[in-house]
Amino acid sequence: MTPVYKLSDSRSLTGTATYYSSMLAGNAVYAPQSYYLLETNVLPGAATSVEFTNLNTYASDYKHLQIRIAAGAGGSGATNRLRITVNSSDANLRGHKVGGVGSGSMFSSTATPYGGSMVISDRVDVSGTSVFIIDIVDFGSTNKAKVFKTFEGCLDSSEPFVAMGSTLWNSTSALTNILFGVGNTAIDSTGFTSGSRFSLYGLKA
Amino acid sequence: MATATYTALATITLSGNSSSVTFSNIPTSYRDLRVIINGKGSIDENVTYTINGSTANFSWLRISGNGSTTVTDKNTNNTIGRFGTGDTLVIVDFMDYSATNKEKLFLIRNNYVGGDVRGLAAKWGSNSAISSISFGIRLSGNYLTGTTFSLYGIAG
């Protein structure tokens, strides 16, 4: 079979061109991307909760998840805790946190579920925005528990807050959904303000 | 449909010492920005932030530890975090940087050898989209040759 030649420019085979036997020769190296925006939700109005569902459908393509949140809360004061459920339950959740409010001493705390959900942050700003970056490592694994790494901050003039946390979902089940809500002792009607943004990203291995 | 993101917008590697580095003409087509600074400084001092040419309207809050002491403090100036004479890594996440209806919050992880590890939350109190960011070192410090500054855009 006569081979197909890819010429470096438009000239005849009898010219002084460079000959390649592969159509791929000379092409730029293909560098596949590894960080993908999967879903984003910018609230068109106030909402009691925000949920990412069917997360298990991403497990075949992505190794880790990241959730970026910039949100405000209704209500006021220190009762606006960010709370989560995983797979529609508060079961098997535990958390640890170190943080500070800009005065006094740093604090460290633990979190356990109550009221049907678990606190993942102590402060969602009522007069502006709180920001959160949550990394879920190996979210699709069905032979290990899942760990969420959080980094958060709020510059509410009355209740500023910065913290780093770790949340364990002690289950080998597939992660299917995560729900975020606001409340002191349970997710209540406080909710998130219009314009709050929740973005989900997938990271390939 | 998944959208590939975390796009490298600019990388600056210093070929000589420099008192500041600026990312300008930042496109508004992303949701968040990430800046990664890795290198050394001529002195052990605070990082100064200038956004859209302004050093005003900043506030920040810190937690840090150096192996023997922990600190939490806050202030309303543009000297945020620390750059050291030892290897230093600073990762800054500007959230919703292109929004024109909210102030700009950013999270900073700040690690420097021989110093401490810090987590900071900061705010630039302007509703303007961020179009330029400059990083300096307080008290006339310099970023040393080889220090890298990388800017990434993240869709959202």
Contacts of B63 in chain A (CB under 8 A): 98-100, 106, 162-164
pTM of the model: 0.90
Whole-Å CA distances, A90 to A49, A66, A95, A114, A167: 15, 20, 12, 8, 12
Contacts of A91 (CB under 8 A, 6+ apart): A113, A171
Closest approach of A101 to chain B, Cα-based (Å): 7
Contacts of B126 (CB under 8 A, 6+ apart): B51, B52, B54, B57, B103, B104
- For the stretch B53-96, pLDDT in tens is 999 999 999 999 999 999 999 999 999 999 999 999 999 999 99
Confidence of residue B15 (pLDDT cuts 50, 70, 90): very high
| pLDDT at residue A23, as a whole number | 72
Q: How far apart are CA A75 and CA B40, in angstroms?
A: 45
Three-state SS at B52: coil
- Position of tokens 């005003």? B56
ipTM above 0.90, yes or no: yes
Flag if A164 and B2 touch (Cβ within 8 Å): no
Flag if B156 and A37 touch (Cβ within 8 Å): yes
For residue A126, what is the DSSP state? Answer: S
Q: Phi/psi at B42 (nearest 5 deg)? A: -75, -25
| pLDDT at residue A151, as a whole number | 97
In what helix (H) or strand (E) does residue A147 lie, and over which residues does it extend?
strand A146-154
- For the stretch A58-116, pLDDT in tens is 999 999 999 999 999 987 766 689 999 999 999 999 999 999 999 999 999 999 998 99
Written as one string, the DSSP assignment of B114-146 is: TS-EEEEEEEE---SPP--EEEEETTTB-BPTT
Give pLDDT < 50 ranges for chain A: none
